[in-house]
Amino acid sequence: MPEFTSRRGLLFGAAAVSAGAVLTGCTSNESKDSEGDTSGDNKQAVADDKPGKRVTIGFAGPQADHGWLNAINDNAKSRAKKYKDVTLEATEGSNDTAAQIGQVETLINKKVDVLVILPADGKALTQVGLKAMRAGIPVVNLDRIFASAQAYRCWIGGDNYGMGLNAGHYIGEKLKDKKNAKVVELAGLDNLELTKQRTKGFDDALKNYSNIEKVARQAAEFTVESGQSKMSQLLQAQKNFDALWNHDDDQGVGALRAIKQAGRDDFMMVGGAGALSAFEEIKQDRGVLKATVLYPPTMAASAIDLARALGQGKGIGGMAEFEIPASLTLYSAVVDKDNVDQYMPTGFK
């Protein structure tokens, strides 16, 4: 899953950001017709589906060795195909920082108009981000953030703290009337900042419920295998609890296997990210999985929207400002049986 250093900008719901509403009716400060117009109502530059100035977007992401990362690539590519005025130069993707730096440098040498980069390591890729910006190529930094704000024009990504916070509040509301309620947590990789942020948000939310105690926490590795083995350990150690929060739907597949093998159905489970398999399980409503908290890969589609707008000198519709913001944080919505049909099309495999 993507590493993240907390940087809250504007809060956008996943549906709003990914559906193209972000970039409709945009205005620009590049138009001569806008000089002297401070009303925010000038419509001379509209970032919609109509072809405009041609833009070549370079896209560099990590290797798609996880369902979420594969969905990132798919979202970026399918979004670019939507626009007749966009040419996408996409790299193969790599988790090797040196290889990814080389790929970005190749895109810089090709003189693409805008770069969209989801770095394998934000700190390690900072210098090549700076190189692109100094070469006059705007960078849209996707999710894993660079170490310097000078290395990107716009950052867009998820809210890991918000994931934990919303998971905690959802579970808290379900258990608020139960005396001495107990919850457990199946986290991700503990050496990642994103895992720490998700746990902190979860713990902060639970502070609002004096009747709930977190009795156990186990860290997995964002894989099906680790989810199964670590969940088995949790189940053996904790004979009675009321709710489980699992940080990641991919490792959640393994967790559900362990739960079924143990014959346990005496608690509720909340997942994380928004995998299609999780949505389908929630819709069936026949097992312990009752909800999942989004970390939407549709952010990659929105990154392409933003890159196109930057390349065409446009802004975001619905806002008075002529320029796109420096930071966009997506909202971690909770999906349960009441709204799962709405989010089903965004589920990743």
pLDDT of residue 318: 81
CA distances from 347 to 84, 227, 341 (A): 26, 20, 10
Nearest to 116 by CA among 74, 88, 84: 88
Report the alpha-carbon distance of residue 61 to residue 116 in Å, rounded. 8
pLDDT of residue 13: 37
Q: If one looks up domain 160-294 in CATH, what number appears?
A: 3.40.50.2300
Report the alpha-carbon distance of residue 19 to residue 302 in Å, rounded. 8
Nearest to 305 by CA among 154, 160, 162: 154
Report the alpha-carbon distance of residue 89 to residue 112 in Å, rounded. 8
pLDDT of residue 6: 33
Tokens of 157: 């990504």
Tokens of 77: 């590519």
Tokens of 290: 């009752």
Nearest to 277 by CA among 310, 258, 251, 296: 251
The CA angle 248-249-253, to the nearest 5 degrees, is: 120
CA distances from 267 to 125, 242, 264, 293, 337 (A): 42, 4, 8, 17, 17
pLDDT of residue 32: 34
The three-class DSSP label of residue 12 is strand
Is the CB of residue 281 less than 8 Å from the CB of residue 253?
A: no
Element (H, E) at 327: strand 327-330
Handedness of CA 181, 223, 144, 141 (dihedral sign): negative
CA distances from 20 to 91, 142, 188 (A): 24, 17, 31
Is the CB of residue 162 less than 8 Å from the CB of residue 192?
A: no
Angle, helices 276-284 vs 249-262, to 10°: value is 40
Q: Which CATH number fits domain 10-158+297-330: 3.40.50.2300, 1.20.120.80, 3.40.50.2000, 3.40.50.1000?
A: 3.40.50.2300
pLDDT digits (tens, 9 = 90+) for 10-22: 333 333 333 333 4
The domain limits of the chain are 10-158+297-330, 160-294
pLDDT digits (tens, 9 = 90+) for 208-256: 999 999 999 999 999 999 999 999 999 999 999 999 999 999 999 999 9
- Decide: pTM greater than 0.85: no
Beta bridge partners of 294: 273
Nearest to 167 by CA among 311, 39, 295, 308: 295
Sheet containing 10-12: give its strands across.
Answer: 10-12, 327-330, 154-157, 139-142, 114-117, 55-60, 86-90
Element (H, E) at 292: strand 289-294
What residues contact 177, with CB distance under 8 A and at least 6 apart? none
pLDDT digits (tens, 9 = 90+) for 147-187: 999 999 999 999 999 999 999 999 999 999 999 999 999 99
pLDDT digits (tens, 9 = 90+) for 90-116: 999 888 999 999 999 999 999 999 999
pLDDT interval class at 49 (50, 70, 90): confident
pLDDT of residue 20: 39
pLDDT of residue 26: 34
pLDDT digits (tens, 9 = 90+) for 245-302: 999 999 999 999 999 999 999 999 999 999 999 999 999 999 999 999 999 999 999 9
Report the alpha-carbon distance of residue 239 to residue 75 in Å, rounded. 41
State percent of the chain over pLDDT 90. Answer: 78
pLDDT interval class at 47 (50, 70, 90): low
Beta bridge partners of 268: 243
Is the CB of residue 184 less than 8 Å from the CB of residue 241?
A: yes
What residues contact 162, with CB distance under 8 A and at least 6 apart? 201, 329, 331, 332
Report the alpha-carbon distance of residue 175 to residue 184 in Å, rounded. 13
State percent of the chain over pLDDT 70. Answer: 86
Mean pLDDT, the chain, integer: 88
